[in-house]
Amino acid sequence: MSTEATVVFVLVVAGRFILPLLIPRFPLPAIIACLILDGIDQSIFQAFGFDPPGYQNYDKAMDLFYLSIAFLTTLQNWTSRAAVQISRFLFFFRMVGVLIFELTGLRAALLIFPNTFEYFFIFYEAVRLRWNPRRFGPRFWLAAAALIWVVIKLPQEYWIHVAQLDFTDTVADVPWFGPAVLLGLAALAAIGWFVVRPRLPVPSWSWKVEPEPLPEEIDTAAERDAWMARNLKIISWWSLEKVALIGLLSTVYARILPGLNVSELRMFVGVSLYVLANVLVSLLVARHVGSRQGLFGAFGTRVVTNIGLVLAARAFLGGNALSVWDTLFFVFLISLLITYHDRFAPVSVVRAEHDRRDP
C-alpha cells in the first residue's frame, strides 16, 4: 500500500471511530455523517487503488458501533418517553436480527428484522430541529416508525440483503432506472413542499441542532453518581439492558471479527458476567467514592479497570480466544458503551419520573 493510500485508510478508519462520538452532542449532523461515510468508504479506498483485506467485517462492526452510540444517545437527549421506548424496541429488534443472520447466514433475517431504528432516529432529530417532540403523542411516533418500516426499510433491506442489488450497477445495466429514481425523488420533494409543508404545525423554536438541556437535578457527574448510589442495583432492568446491549454486540462481533475463536454461548455468558462486574464497580464507586470526572475521565478510569477484568475473563473464554488487539478492541468498545450507559440512562429515568409527576 502506498503512503498516500495508507494516510487515506487511517483517516477513514479514524472517521468511523470519531464521528459516532459526536452523536450525543450533535445528533442529526453526526449520524448523517456516519451514514454517508459508511456508504462511501469502500469507494474512497477503490479510488486510491486498494481494498483493505478483511475490512468488510470491520465495516459491519463499526456500523453496529455507531448505532449503539445513537441508541444510548436517545436515553440522554430524547424528551419524548414514547419515542425512547419505540427506539429501544427497534434497536434491540435489529440487533437480534443481525445475530440470527450471523449465526445462520439467512439473509432474510435482515429483511424480517430491518434497521428501522436508524431512520427513526434521523426522523426524530429532524422533527426536533423545529418542534418540541413532547408536542407529539405516542400515536405520532408509532405511526412514523411504522411508515419508515414498511415504506422505506423493507424495500431497502430487500434490495440490499435479499436481491443483493447494487445501485451503481443497476443504473448502468438498466437505462431507465436512474431517471426513474430522480423523477421519484423530485415527486417526493414536490409533495413535501406543496402538500406537507403548509400543513405543518407552528414551530416551537428556531433551528436547534444541539440537544435539550439535561434535568437540573442530574446535569453533573456528581449528581449522576449520587443518583446511581440511591437507585442502582446489581440485578435490575438497568443492568439487564446493559447486559443485553453489550452481550448481543460482543456475540455478533465474535462472528464477524477475525481471530475470535470462541462459541457464541460462551462469549455471551462471559461478557454478561463482565458487564455485571462493571455494574458492581459502578455501584461501589458511586456509594463509597463518588466522582466529579467528565465523560472522558470516567472512560479512562473504566478502561483501566476493565483491563484487569479482561485478564480475568480470558481464563473463562480460553487463553487463546482473543488476540492482544482484539482484547484492546473489546476493552475500548465495552468501556465506552458502559460509560455512556452509566451517564445517559439515569437522564432517561429522571425524565420519565418527571412525566409521571407532570403528565
pLDDT digit of tens for each residue in the chain (359 aa)? 567 777 888 888 889 889 999 999 999 999 999 999 988 887 788 777 777 776 677 778 888 999 999 999 999 999 999 999 999 999 999 999 998 988 888 989 999 999 999 999 999 999 999 999 999 999 999 999 999 999 999 998 988 888 777 666 677 777 887 788 889 889 988 988 888 888 888 999 999 999 988 888 888 777 777 777 777 777 778 788 888 888 888 788 777 765 556 666 777 777 777 777 777 776 666 665 555 455 666 677 677 777 776 666 566 555 455 566 666 777 787 788 888 888 898 899 888 887 777 66
Residue 333 lies in a domain: yes
- Nearby residues of 183 by Cβ (< 8 Å), 6 or more positions away: none
Q: Is residue 139 part of a domain?
A: no
- Mention every residue, 6+ apart, whose C-beta is less than 8 A from residue 36: none
Residue 125 lies in a domain: no
Question: Residue 271 domain-assigned?
Answer: yes
Going from the C-alpha of 189 to that of each of 129, 185, 195, 196, 254, the distances in angstroms are 19, 6, 10, 10, 42
- Residue 120 falls within a domain, yes or no? no
Total domains in the fold of the chain: 1
| 145: in domain | no
Q: Which of 37, 41, 90, 87 is nearest to 66 (CA)?
A: 37
pTM of the predicted model, to two decimals? Answer: 0.88
| Domain span including residue 280 | 213-359
342 part of a folded domain: yes
Q: State the alpha helices, DSSP H only, in 192-323.
A: 221-231, 237-256, 264-288, 295-317
Q: Where are the alpha helices (DSSP H) in 149-199?
A: 154-157, 167-173, 177-191
